[in-house]
Structure 1
């Protein structure tokens, strides 16, 4: 529970940081537009100068009379003056719109345009969509500014994984494992970023982030974990156990290479790659720290219900590292990982944690 609270605090801090970044992007966009406004006069004057030079060259070559050249120069000067007026008006309007709505208007117009492009309103899970437990977390929705990049190479997702965990025990097959196959489970939650590796292809992506892992093991029979003389092993409990569960919590940094096709959507102001209904395959590993281990025992003693929660002291590995892979369609993936570090340090019989289940990239 304490680990989950720490994660939620981190998530709040992270969202606040994202909001500050959005505000900075809004101010940066205003500065860029004002700088462009100053350049308009210089650009049009230079263009007019180049036109006049060409007209004079035609006069020297005998192609134009002095009267014709004067008329062309006046027309060019009038056109460039109108260009300055129109271009600055466009920039002034965009600056006014951004300042009045703090960037909301531009992002909303873009989002509504995407909505209309799709036959069903929105065409599935686009890369620019952002939803957390069904709640829209796009910055424009909450009044934050979001400056649309023409080509985004990095996207992010909330990652949730759950399923069955167990241990690869030296000398035993998985069927001979001393832990219940269906009763031992894991849960994982974290945040991941996905960056396109190549400039003009989204087939290969670099996937990285951080995750909290909660790995559970339920011993078979009436056994529980005991540490004696630096060795952690399963032993018979003195009373009939209603429940025996061991859990190890980790904070890890997963790193994967991901391959698979994607749909590209090109419009006048942006390029986006979508993984909607597309095959994905990722392979890589992870490394991190063991945050703690605990054991929960439930039993009856003299007719009374007893519940023991025993923390620490199980000689678990401090450093966590292993291999992982996933495969699936869109954000629904089959997921497998294997710890290369032993569960218990200096154990006579080495055991390695493994997990298999479902992963959701939201």
Structure 2
């Protein structure tokens, strides 16, 4: 169990680090795109300065001429006003061009860091992290809303009761304790929306670890004799007899259910928050290990045996599973199509029922 736990922790850390690295790369790409876009806009603004100032000078001259025609000013005064207006226009062109050239040089030299200054009251850099993810807004420009990524990811956690279906026997006759036998599943899933403009149907896939545990009744334990695995009575009273199989599987489910469409300033998101959902599919993978734990007293001493061997358990695991739920919580059922023990006279197949949590 310790080895599997360490492996699981390493895998989850690896995925988390990879995700953070990807987000960092995406953030750098967004920053570069914003800076490049702003440089292009500044260059366009610089190319329009002379035309704008000439247009403003033309309006001033028209007003001066109108005053001259109305005998409000003399011809000499009109000529002086026109020269002053022309001088101001030339200085405006020169100063505005220098300002924009310095802004472009600052951006090219320092990149995104140079964008921390504010050009005016309506233009600033915003970095928001919330329930809807990372949002960056540079400047006052607004992008047209975009549909969210077709693929998102989440963590899977499930826990519940575990037992087996044995040929020719009812579940009530099971040699395993119903209350003491359980399962745990932990994994990482990706969810892909199948249709462009609808999230009613999506597919979930990924990987998960399954720990299926059986607690034996009637002082019995498993004994492997060559290719035969059977339950036998232990020679002394057992305090605990537990049998656990650890699997690594690839689950895949087709999920159905309504979604809410949320429109933001620069994106559109679909959410299944507070919505019903139904998923059906299966899984396949490999057995990682088999362990039997026995606790008992011998000569007054407490003894705990941990026996690791295959006990003829199936190396390949595959089965069917389904869930129905609301929001992040679902009722979850999975059934192994492969027998728990291979090449036995009587097949028994693992079955699990519990709660499933999809943690976005």
Q: Does residue 22 of the first structure (1) align with residue 12 of the second (2)? A: no
What SS does the aligned partner of 1:18 have? helix
**Rounded Cα–Cα distance in structure 1 between residues aligned with 2:155 and 2:186:** 8
**Rounded Cα–Cα distance in structure 1 between residues aligned with 2:222 and 2:135:** 49
Cα distance change on mapping 1:303 and 1:139 into 2, 3 Å:
farther
TM-score by length of 1: 0.73
Deviations 1:177-214 (A, max 9, x none): 11111111111111111111100001001111111111
Q: Which of these residues, 175, 179, 185, is aligned with residue 176 of structure 2?
A: 179
**Rounded Cα–Cα distance in structure 1 between residues aligned with 2:207 and 2:310:** 26
For 1:359, the equivalent position in structure 2 comes to 356
What SS does the aligned partner of 1:11 have? helix
Cα distance change on mapping 1:217 and 1:176 into 2, 3 Å:
same
Cα distance change on mapping 1:107 and 1:149 into 2, 3 Å:
farther
What SS does the aligned partner of 2:25 have? helix
**Rounded Cα–Cα distance in structure 2 between residues aligned with 1:342 and 1:302:** 38
Cα distance change on mapping 1:170 and 1:107 into 2, 3 Å:
farther
Query: How is 1:1-362 mapped onto 2 (pairs within 5 angstroms)?
Result: 1-37=2-38, 39-40=40-41, 95-96=112-113, 106-108=126-128, 111=130, 128=132, 150-362=147-359
Deviations 1:2-24 (A, max 9, x none): 11111111112222212221221
The CA deviation at 1:235 is 0.7
Deviations 1:129-148 (A, max 9, x none): 6xxxxxxxx799xxxxxxx9
RMSD: 3.2
For 1:60, the equivalent position in structure 2 comes to none
The CA deviation at 1:42 is 8.7
- How many residue pairs are counted as aligned between the two chains? 293
**Rounded Cα–Cα distance in structure 2 between residues aligned with 1:189 and 1:149:** 33
Cα distance change on mapping 1:175 and 1:319 into 2, 3 Å:
same
Q: Tell me if the contact between 2:32 and 2:111 (Cα under 8 Å) persists in the aligned partners.
A: no
**Rounded Cα–Cα distance in structure 2 between residues aligned with 1:351 and 1:149:** 51
The CA deviation at 1:152 is 2.4
What SS does the aligned partner of 1:276 have? coil
Cα distance change on mapping 1:219 and 1:181 into 2, 3 Å:
same
What SS does the aligned partner of 1:226 have? strand
Deviations 1:314-336 (A, max 9, x none): 01111111010111100011000
What SS does the aligned partner of 1:282 have? strand
Q: Tell me if the contact between 2:32 and 2:112 (Cα under 8 Å) persists in the aligned partners.
A: no
**Rounded Cα–Cα distance in structure 2 between residues aligned with 1:31 and 1:2:** 43
The CA deviation at 1:43 is 7.8
Deviations 1:44-63 (A, max 9, x none): 8999xxxxxxxxxxxxxxxx
Cα distance change on mapping 1:41 and 1:242 into 2, 3 Å:
closer
Cα distance change on mapping 1:304 and 1:149 into 2, 3 Å:
farther
TM-score by length of 2: 0.73
What SS does the aligned partner of 1:333 have? strand
**Rounded Cα–Cα distance in structure 2 between residues aligned with 1:139 and 1:190:** 27
The CA deviation at 1:223 is 0.5
The structure with the largest alpha-carbon Rg is 2
Deviations 1:86-113 (A, max 9, x none): xx99xx699447779xxxx6441x64xx
Q: Tell me if the contact between 2:162 and 2:212 (Cα under 8 Å) persists in the aligned partners.
A: yes
